[in-house]
Amino acid sequence: MRRVDHLAALSRAISGAAAHQRLVQGAAMMSTYAASNSQCIASRIAENFRISNPSVARGVTGTVFFSVAASSLAQEVQAKESPPVEKLMPKDVVLYQYEACPFCNKVKAFLDYYNIPYKVVEVNPISKKEIKWSDYKKVPILKVDGEQMVDSSDIVDKLFQRIHPDNSVPDSDEETKWRGWVDNHLVHVLSPNIYRSVSEALESFDYITTHADCFSPMMLSTNSGNFSFTERLVAKYAGATAMYFVSKKLKKRHNITDERAALYGAAETWVDALRGRQYLGGSKPNLADLAVFGVLRPIRYLKSGKDMVEHTHIGEWYSRMENAVGEPCRVEA
């Protein structure tokens, strides 16, 4: 009965935001009696909420209270992967990319999540002069300490094994299945949606040239060193026109009759795969989470991405992933 009373008191205490903050501070105070990893969680809670009055928590058994309050932040603490051990950290990473390419963004999501600094070289989609040096003529190409890596999934696997040398198998059967689903299905519904109409195609290229997915410097801004003024205009207008027609071919090739319905269906399929978990990886993202997030990131604030979030249940997971992946690790070339 005493424990029930304590839990009832806890429930009343957390009914309001201010009370919840006081409870969190109480949890931080109780951390001196917990294990060392619990102390880290408690101090993180106290720091985040900046509160100092634990009066609401009085009368609640310390052990019961701390276990509930600390566990509420445990997933946040675990979500962002710690930087790789310094000796395993790549020293010089350069990504050759197209800003809106879903496969390139899959690689960037991995680099950002694992706090691996990288430089970006934007490849001119017409001349591809930036990758003349390579026999491989597709993007992404990643140079890691002078070693060339190609194909987004292979790049992620090699980087994962490099920073986790004791884990030669990076994913479970479930993780493998959904990473394959990203490459073989999800990416194919994106272009028909991004370039669904001429206006959406122009919106997409205009967004790319002015925002560059909200995380990196402008791809084709007026001070871009990679492109001349004429090249920028060609990339924007000719590119939008070309992709409009390419998207129609892709739509037919992949038997897509309704672009938005296909996008919404893919989003709901992914949400169903989570089965109520924060991430497919459980308490923190795994490689499948990073792959889905990476390929969706370029469209999130386009009309297609806004429609997707409005008409499906993927928004909460996407927001958690934005927080987990955090700020980009892109550095100036």
- Judged by phi (left if over 0) then psi (alpha if -120 to 50, else beta), residue 18 lies in alpha
Secondary structure element (H or E) that encloses residue 178, with its range: helix 173-181
- Catalytic residue, from 49, 65, 104, 110: name it: 104
- Catalytic residue, from 65, 66, 103, 293: name it: 103
**How many Cβ atoms are within 10 Å of 19's Cβ, its own excluded?**
15
Helices (H) and strands (E) in the chain, counts: 15, 4
**How many Cβ atoms are within 10 Å of 17's Cβ, its own excluded?**
8
* End-to-end alpha carbon distance in the chain: 64
Structure tokens at 57: 């928590």
**214 classed as catalytic:** no
**40 classed as catalytic:** no
- Catalytic residue, from 49, 65, 66, 98: name it: 98
The CA angle 90-92-98, to the nearest 5 degrees, is 105
CA contacts within 13 A on the Cβ side of 164: 14
Spell out the alpha helix ranges (H) of 14-151: 17-29, 36-49, 62-79, 102-113
Determine contact, residues 6/68, Cβ cutoff 8 Å: no
**101 classed as catalytic:** yes
Cα radius of gyration rounded to whole Å, the chain: 23
Q: What is the residue whose two structure tokens read 């509420």?
A: 72
**160 classed as catalytic:** no
Alpha-carbon gap, residue 159 to 90, rounded angstroms: 9
- Catalytic residue, from 65, 101, 110, 227: name it: 101
Which residues are catalytic, by number? 98, 101, 103-104
